[in-house]
Amino acid sequence: MVVGAGPAGLYATFYAGFRGLRVVVIDSLTELGGQVSTLFPEKAIFDVAGFPAIVGRDLISRLQEQAASAGAVYLLGRTAIGLTDRGERGLLITLDDGAVIAAGAVLVSAGVGGFQPRQLPAAAPWLGRGMEYFVQDAEVYRDLDVVITGGGDSAVDWALHVEPIARSVTLVHRRSRFRAHESSIDRLLRSSVQVLTNAQVSQVLGVEWIDSVEISEASGGSHRRPAQALVCALGFVADLGPLAGWGMEIANRRILVDSTMRTSLERVFAVGDVSDYRGKVRLISVGFGEAAIAVNHIAALLRADAEVSPGHSSDRPAPVTAG
């Protein structure tokens, strides 16, 4: 069983089918893709091998197409809440609707778990009336004055993404330094985006819809700026939810794993952002590699005739897409 249908979970699903395993995929979201589909479907992703850049929703579409060869059963909008170890007979996973599923092993690829956006108090009442936490469709910002708050990758990337079509883009960050990738910051500073640091949106103004924002500076000054759209990209608060009660060793809201991606529980593995080990690098491309490592060890665990190393994929026949 794979818990989590984000990029690492979808690749693990494909790879498990490639190793001849049957797969059930559980995800509390109602669509495939995890955080990529929910938080940045339109954002370009630059760290996936083979693609100089690929838009989030296109990456998920490719992964879904690849995973189709596994013939997996997808249970979306469902949450895995309980785990029972039956020893050699495997595991029982209880879902939030009362269903119980037997599995030889579980691979957790739940990203950061459940997540809620961090609030900007002044903007919260305007949700759906010009204020959003995520950019789902850049086209809605065409010819608008857009203000984006935040200093991480999402804030910077979204500012760059909507710049070509918006009337104006202003990025407001309460600190002087950004947390985004250096190359993105360089592009930002060369763009037409107006960058305001050591500042924050202190008031949102309008009637039925946002028409302007008040920006306060650390120095004590403030000014009003036109804005028909406000994106609050302040990050999110993550929660492992029921996974935290399974008995796995956890530190800093991450599941600790060894070099095989095995957790402290027998037959339970974890990959992607939810997992942690010394030297961990949190990239989608790293999650793909972790998924392959975990699945290969799971295959050897579940099948006496299976080796950890599967050999070269080019020596095998091409997988047949199910359905």
Final residue belonging to a domain, choices 234, 266, 290: 234
Residues with pLDDT less than 70, the chain = 112-115, 238, 312-323
Q: Are residues 191 and 147 in the same domain?
A: yes
Burial class of 11 by CB neighbour count within 10 A (0 to 12, 13 to 18, 19+) = buried
Q: Are residues 130 and 207 in the same domain?
A: yes
Question: Which pTM was predicted?
Answer: 0.78
Q: Does residue 323 belong to any structural domain of this protein? A: no
Q: Does residue 13 belong to any structural domain of this protein? A: yes
Q: Are residues 132 and 209 in the same domain?
A: yes
Q: What is the pLDDT of residue 142?
A: 97
Q: Are residues 34 and 172 in the same domain?
A: no
Buried b / exposed e over 52-70, threshold 16 CB at 10 Å, is eebbbbebbebbbebbbbb
Q: What is the pLDDT of residue 310?
A: 81
Cα distance between residue 97 and residue 303, in whole Å: 31
The reply, when asked if residue 115 is annotated as ligand binding, is: yes
Largest CA distance in the chain: 71
Q: Are residues 88 and 167 in the same domain?
A: no
Q: What is the pLDDT of residue 41?
A: 83
Q: Identify whether the C-beta of residue 174 lies closer than 8 Å to the C-beta of residue 199.
A: yes
The reply, when asked if residue 273 is annotated as ligand binding, is: yes
Q: Which of 311, 308, 312 is nearest to 261 (CA)?
A: 308
Q: Are residues 87 and 143 in the same domain?
A: no
**101: β partners:** 93
Q: Does residue 229 belong to any structural domain of this protein? A: yes
CATH number for 189: 3.50.50.60
Q: Does residue 322 belong to any structural domain of this protein? A: no
Question: DSSP code of 66?
Answer: H
Q: Are residues 158 and 291 in the same domain?
A: no
Final residue belonging to a domain, choices 179, 209, 234: 234
Coil/strand/helix, residue 60: helix
Q: Are residues 131 and 203 in the same domain?
A: yes
The reply, when asked if residue 202 is annotated as ligand binding, is: no
Q: What is the pLDDT of residue 323?
A: 45
Q: Which residue has the tokens 């559980």?
A: 26
Which domain, by its residues, includes 152?
119-234
The reply, when asked if residue 47 is annotated as ligand binding, is: no
Q: Are residues 247 and 215 in the same domain?
A: no
Q: Are residues 39 and 52 in the same domain?
A: yes
Q: What is the pLDDT of residue 273?
A: 92
Q: What is the pLDDT of residue 2?
A: 97
Structural domain count of the chain:
2
Residue pLDDT, tens place only, 186-234: 999 999 999 999 999 999 999 999 999 999 999 899 999 999 999 999 8
The reply, when asked if residue 35 is annotated as ligand binding, is: yes
Final residue belonging to a domain, choices 171, 201, 234: 234
Rg (CA), the chain: 22
Q: Are residues 54 and 102 in the same domain?
A: yes
Q: What is the pLDDT of residue 114?
A: 62
Q: Which of 287, 316, 310, 289 is nearest to 5 (CA)?
A: 287
Q: What is the pLDDT of residue 320?
A: 55
Q: Are residues 290 and 272 in the same domain?
A: yes
Q: Identify whether the C-beta of residue 133 lies closer than 8 Å to the C-beta of residue 38.
A: no
